Amino acid sequence: MSHEEKNITVLIEDTDAFGRLNWRVYCRYCELGEAGLLKSLGFNQMHFYEKHRISFPRRFSRFEYLSQVFPTDSIDFRTEIKRVGKTSLTLSHTFYKKSKKLQKPVLAAKAEVVIVAYDEKNHRKTPLPKQLVEKIRQICPEAFET
């Protein structure tokens, strides 16, 4: 199960002082991927909060930067469900840069993000919503921990 976005323009305001894509923008792309995954499962990003007061804060993230990205490049990225736990989802993100100078896309960065179901009423982590788990199990059974 994955969500892809293609041909995202790298804007000058998305770069750091040296003209490279800023790390914060990769975080925004991860959030776009998360929202895209939920949408492809049939849920908007506020669905579980509005129905059950469950949010999904990030518990862990790891980024590996492999190739610099500049405003003359564009980005393609893919977000995939890597693992489903009792209270968390581990998502994998891959980012590819493209430009007129490159013959094919180049892997620019990889990320892994763990999001946790959080009960806003009781202020603690909670099991993933059954409705979400059932949808993921139908589409991506290999992501479930054994």
Instruction: Assign residue 35 the CATH number of its domain.
Output: 3.10.129.10
- C-alpha distances in angstroms, 13 versus 30, 109, 125? 18, 19, 36
Tell me the pLDDT tens digit for each residue of 21-69: 999 999 999 999 999 999 999 999 999 999 999 999 999 999 999 999 9
Provide the domain count of the chain: 1
Residue among 28, 36, 17, 55 nearest 111 (CA): 28
Label residue 127 by pLDDT band (50, 70, 90).
Answer: very high
Asked whether residue 79 carries a pLDDT value surpassing 60, the answer given is yes
User: In percent, how much of the chain has pLDDT > 70?
Assistant: 99
Instruction: Please give the structure tokens belonging to residue 97.
Output: 């840069």
**pLDDT score for 145:** 66
Counting runs of H as helices and runs of E as strands, what totals does the chain give?
3, 8
For the sheet with 118-119, list strands across it.
Answer: 54-55, 118-119, 124-125
Range of the domain at 105: 2-143
pLDDT band at 1 (very low <50, low <70, confident <90, very high): confident
Cβ neighbour number for residue 109 with a 10 Å cutoff: 22
pLDDT at 146 over 70: no
Model pLDDT, residue 27? 96
- Residue 57 near residue 118 (C-beta atoms within 8 A): yes
d(CA 133, CA 146): 15
pTM value surpassing 0.85: yes
Cα separation, 138 vs 123, whole angstroms? 30
What is the chain's mean pLDDT, rounded?
95
